[in-house]
A and B are shown apart, each in its own frame.
Chain A
Amino acid sequence: KQEVTQIPAALSVPEGENLVLNCSFTDSAIYNLQWFRQDPGKGLTSLLLIQSSQREQTSGRLNASLDKSSGRSTLYIAASQPGDSATYLCAVGDYKLSFGAGTTVTVRA
């Protein structure tokens, strides 16, 4: 069974700092890895999807890397803003996604 772990569970940074969020998974035979954002009382918003043949994806201030051999992904958020405050979830799988418990980020103004 795929196990997904996210470290740290919570993170608080001042505005402008870069954020580094880590995700690890136990089974390297994955179809893809997705990063989501979850705001309180709302559903998940997809941020980035990395297919198994790719090593990274970028969108604006967000960059995610994937190292299947070591079972790790890292989400980088550059120049953080208070609006980036949310819980970030990592998920791996094909159609049956296995999710980590998330990293709750607070960006202080």
Chain B
Amino acid sequence: GAGVSQSPSNKVTEKGKDVELRCDPISGHTALYWYRQRLGQGLEFLIYFQGNSAPDKSGLPSDRFSAERTGESVSTLTIQRTQQEDSAVYLCATGGLAGVTDTQYFGPGTRLTVL
């Protein structure tokens, strides 16, 4: 079946602009995660959605970052007033069960470059 998809694959923006990144999960997966991977660094957890429960936003680095997901559908990650340090690959992952012990299936990522 189809895997996790993300769009756009690449995004170049100017400092101060807002950007929206999209994640389409595997059908039926209740858990959805956003991670950030800066150049030469490990992945950093950003946010976790599980069904209709309140999301865990503890990894969001600042209030310029926000994410939404309705039920088990598409998720969008929004970065307002982008800064150069926001340049990274943003990865979305989804999981099929409760999320705690399930494998996470990753999308190809969105490479964000802030000039």
Chain A positions near chain B (C-beta within 8 angstroms)? 4, 31-32, 34, 36, 41-46, 49, 51, 89, 91, 93-102
Contacts of B93 in A (CB 8 A): 44
Which B86-100 residues have C-beta < 8 A from chain A?
91, 93, 95, 99-100
In Å, the complex CA distance between A34 and B58 comes to: 21
Q: Are A43 and B106 also in contact (CB < 8 A) when A31-B100, A95-B48, A95-B99 are?
A: yes
Residue ID in chain B nearest A32 by CB atoms = B101
In the complex, number of A-B residue pairs with CB atoms less than 8 Å apart: 63
Task: Please state if A44 and B103 are interface contacts (CB–CB under 8 Å).
Answer: no
Contacts of B44 in A (CB 8 A): 99
Contacts of A93 in B (CB 8 A): 45
Contacts of B62 in A (CB 8 A): none
Task: Please state if A46 and B100 are interface contacts (CB–CB under 8 Å).
Answer: no
